[in-house]
Structure 1
Amino acid sequence: MSSLIYIFQGSGRRTQTVLTDMLRTALPYFFTMLWPFIVVNLFGKAYWGDCVDALLIINVITLITDWGSKKYLLKRFDLTPNELSEAWHESIYTRLLILICFLLLILISPFSSVMKTGICILITSRFIYATYEAIIKYKHRHLIAIVAELIGFLSGLIILLLLKVEISNEYIIFSMAIGEIVRNIILIIFIKDITFRIGLRYFQPTYLTQAYPFFMLAFTSSLIHVVDRVFVYTTFSNEIKSEYQIYMNFLLFMISLPNFLLMPYFKNYYKSKLIL
């Protein structure tokens, strides 16, 4: 009982950290769920149904380019905090090769130029966010991340409304991409815990093998969602695809909600030096 009391009753500063961590973690999932609602209400189900195929490709590529970076870096930061900058740069430069390969594949794909631009921007933006997410978590820069999420989402929504007259699935993807660019710009400007350096010495192929277990954990847990979506997206009409994704996003958000609410407390508890 004393352990449970300690988890949920702490200092004001620790409680604030936990609450902001909760909100920061939940916001991207909430906005992912909100985007289709907005598009469907403004333009209809068919428009969002046109987007889901591209978004599935983007999500799979993002999963691969992340390569388990967040959990790997957090683990390494805990074990060797004096090598924070070194580990962070190794993650960027090594994963950058994977990102470049996928960007080249997108550029030679049959998508239109607007769609190619939107997909490339989204993939690159998510790569950058994954790079900063470990720093946000480790250094407790949750408030900055929350502000960046809110401003980024509003920026993307404004672009979408400005393009309303000539709306298409390409411009929807492009609007989402602009929102993520704005989010990343805010993070880069205001997170000063680390200074970006240029140097080929940071490219370490061994990073891929070290982070591989973390990548496989994320990949296998997401595989079931990818498989069923591939089946639905290749079988049914745009309207049905749109409805399916909205319901699935809502279901996954509700399933993840207890994790958002409780996990920051338990992480904070296990990292504590207090012996119970």
Structure 2
Amino acid sequence: MRKIIRRSTVILQNSLYNLLLPAINILLASLVIRLTSKTLWGGFVDVLVVVQFTAQVAAWGNKEYLLRGFSRQPATMPHQWQAAFYPRLLIACPLILLADAKIFIWLLGLIIAASFDVLILYRKAFFYAIRVELIAALGVAIVIVARYQTLIVDDLITFFALAAWLKVILLGYRFRDVLGFT
């Protein structure tokens, strides 16, 4: 019975973690639209879609590939993660020529934060990851509420970029052994 409860808890936490980001984005969109305008959010969505899509492309296949590798050779997990991480960063590098610096910094933060997803899954650190997502979202929401009267698209890009880097810092701390900072 205890085993079933433990497995159910892991499944529930994983499901919650996977549903959390879309739910947060809906809530933040509603907040911006309610406090400012649909036009502001629409202008931001133009950037959001491109940045999120690019980050998604950079992460394709990463999780599945690394989970297999971690299962086969758990002792080499840090090396495997690092070997998969650096080439994915190269995907973002040409975009520095096309994107605004803030957008590039945001994209870089998203790619790095997404690279921790496999570690969250492998180590079943869902509860920690959920807290990180909530902290980052709460930070963005607080700043949106505090600055709603003067909010522009560039501000939203900055807030979302800072949230991505906050996630990088918090997840990097949690998985510092894989990063080589033990």
Using structure 2 for the length normalisation, give the TM-score.
0.89
In structure 1, what is the Cα distance between the partners aligned to 2:110 and 2:18?
Answer: 15
Alignment of 1:165-244 (within 5 A): 165-196=149-180
User: Given the alignment, which residue of 148, 153, 156 partners 1:164?
Assistant: 148
Task: Say if 2:86 is the partner of 1:93.
Answer: yes
Alignment of 1:4-15 (within 5 A): 10-15=3-8
In structure 2, what is the Cα distance between the partners aligned to 1:60 and 1:179?
Answer: 17
Decide whether the 8 Å contact of 1:62 with 1:126 is kept in 2: yes
Ranges in structure 2 where 5+ consecutive residues have no aligned partner: none
User: Given the alignment, which residue of 68, 73, 96 partners 1:103?
Assistant: 96
RMSD: 2.1
1:118-176 deviation line (CA, Å, top 9, x unaligned): x2232111111121110000011111101101100001112222332321111122222
Percent identity at matched positions?
A: 27
Decide whether the 8 Å contact of 2:106 with 2:164 is kept in 1: yes
Match of 1:19 in 2: 12
Check 1:53–1:25 CA distance in 2 against 1; reply closer, same or farther (3 A cut). same
How far residue 53 of structure 1 moved from its aligned partner, in angstroms, is 1.2
How far residue 45 of structure 1 moved from its aligned partner, in angstroms, is 0.9
- Higher CA-based Rg: 1
Match of 2:120 in 1: 136
Alignment of 1:2-151 (within 5 A): 10-107=3-100, 116-117=101-102, 119-151=103-135
Decide whether the 8 Å contact of 1:67 with 1:95 is kept in 2: no
Letter in 2 for 1:171: D
- State the SS of the aligned residue for 2:124: coil
- State the SS of the aligned residue for 1:163: helix
Letter in 2 for 1:131: S
In structure 2, what is the Cα distance between the partners aligned to 1:140 and 1:193?
Answer: 15
Letter in 2 for 1:176: F
Using the TM superposition, name which of 74-83 and 153-162 deviates more: 74-83
Using structure 1 for the length normalisation, give the TM-score.
0.60
In structure 2, what is the Cα distance between the partners aligned to 1:65 and 1:104?
Answer: 17
Letter in 1 for 2:79: E
- State the SS of the aligned residue for 1:140: coil
In structure 2, what is the Cα distance between the partners aligned to 1:64 and 1:175?
Answer: 22
Match of 1:208 in 2: none
